[in-house]
A = this chain, B = another copy of it.
């Protein structure tokens, strides 16, 4: 079987794979800081060169910001197409003083490679390049069409990505997307993240009197916008943690029995979790476990409150205005727009006379989920078991990865989130690291993934 040659190539090139990653990590491609603009481009060029060496059709696309790299393997008629998304830019390394070894001088300690971008996302992204290299250099015909979309602005909000995808729909068309920019469930326990929550984010602004008033002279007779804000925000959720916006749960896709069982089997230590967060108890929607509440149930969290006097001591002011930022995490198939409409109706109904209400809806995104029964999920599971020697668990993630929704919306396809990282990799913090064994396991799983997806056709 031809795949043996691929695995053999992987086994024989671990040193080279590490050297290549270190080369990329030495380029300080900090997208947020214009002083590093040339370095960001250099990192993009470096990635493009990886593809050129494999004879993939490669382009470095200019954008108003940093370049986007695309590449495509030689066309294999009738084979499925996989789109790999990743990013070559990194977070700023500050605070520099807290790094044990410099952020752009990759250093191995205790089996981990330390450098800014080691896991987020240079190391993880590169696993899908090195896996392709193994197929190509071992002379094994790729059973899939591989497309790559590697951007340089992920750490600054991917400002130019959605327009790029929109303009290149045809070139990017694929059967499934693969992203490695997340985490395993725990050390030695790889995971497939098959669901993400969406979001609907709002700012509620209330205005009362035209200026702050003396709360003695006027208090009691003038509607207080800060009291009103508390009332409206409190009305969003009942004591059972159920959100009170009319129709909020109407379209919610409930957790399946299989999902609840999978979650229940996970070695999740609630006591450890509480200790990590520094809380003495957890609360949430009645009838659900902590993991279910975090991953697969919608929420309403206040993100910010502001009104009146916030300094030290006491000031007897009746504030002229009060505002709250709050957001709902959404699950499939909740519609952010419909929720915004219902929310505004509810708030206006509750708002007392004498208060002017403004509700600002920030960009919303729906939740996404890949059915566990999808053949791509099964293929990924087999590939991960091959690469890591252990079957993956199935998890969801409470946050949003906007590009996943974009792929769904613009290309109509699902994304496999195959995280090779670990929770304690210090992404966005000093001393970012990537476990080298996981790097190689990731490459091996990725190489196998092309086989598993290809063999389906």
Shortest CB-to-CB span from A271 to chain B, Å, is: 14
> Does A186 have its Cβ within 8 Å of any Cβ on chain B?
no
- In the complex formed, the residue of B with least CB distance to A214 is B399
Contact A278–B216 (Cβ < 8 Å)? no
Number of A positions contacting B (CB below 8 A):
80
Q: Is the CB of A290 within 8 A of B325?
A: no
Task: Report chain B residues within 8 Å CB of A310.
Answer: 304-306, 325
Cα of A203 to Cα of B249 in the assembled complex, Å: 36
Q: Is the C-beta of A297 less than 8 angstroms from some C-beta in chain B?
A: yes
- State A218–B307 Cα separation when bound (angstroms): 26
Tell me which of B283, B314, B398 contacts A362 (CB under 8 A). Answer: B314
Which of B199, B284, B317, B356 makes the CB contact (< 8 A) with A303? Answer: B317
A401-437 vs B, CB cutoff 8 Å, 1 = contact: the mask equals 0000000000000000000000000000000000000
| Closest Cβ–Cβ distance, residue A142 to chain B (whole Å) | 36
How far is the CB of A261 from the nearest CB of chain B, in Å?
A: 19
Closest to A401 in B: B216
CB closest chain-B residue, reference A313: B362
**A230/B229 contact (C-beta < 8 A), A306-B306, A325-B314, A398-B216 known:** yes
Q: Contact between B397 and A217 (Cβ–Cβ < 8 Å)?
A: yes
Binding site for B on A (CB under 8 A): 197, 199, 201, 203, 208-211, 213-224, 226-227, 229-231, 233-237, 241, 277-285, 290-291, 293-294, 297-310, 313-319, 322, 324-325, 327, 329, 352-354, 356, 362-363, 397-400
